[in-house]
Amino acid sequence: MKGPSIDHNIIEIFNLDARILRTYESIHPFIDRFIHKMKLKVLKSTHHNFRPYGVTIVYILSSSHLVVHTWPENNCLHMDILQCSKRKEYESMRSIIKGIFSGKIHIWRA
């Protein structure tokens, strides 16, 4: 029995400037660039700003989902991206992320 083609990546970025991680308003321009460069189609999105700071953003994609969590107190961002498609080129995703974020990048494929 063959299941669907799924490309699932977990991305953690460390050593980021805490100021860009505090709120939706400060992080979403960076995430929008990632979405554009990855050629993802967003159907819906929602977010929640935590107090005193930090944000979670959920994007429903035409191909599945992208979830972003920030921890400004740890200078860390976590992204979970699942696409119902063939696996994307790993190094191309890393290159896109490096062009947007200046921190230390870890990517795991599930």
Question: Active-site residue numbers?
Answer: 64, 69, 84
With beta carbons less than 8 A apart as the criterion, state whether 6 and 82 touch: yes
Query: How many CA atoms lie within 13 Å of 60's alpha carbon, on the beta-carbon side?
Result: 4
Among 20, 18, 40, which Cα is nearest to 30's? 20
- The dihedral through the CA atoms of 90, 80, 7, 45 has a sign that is negative
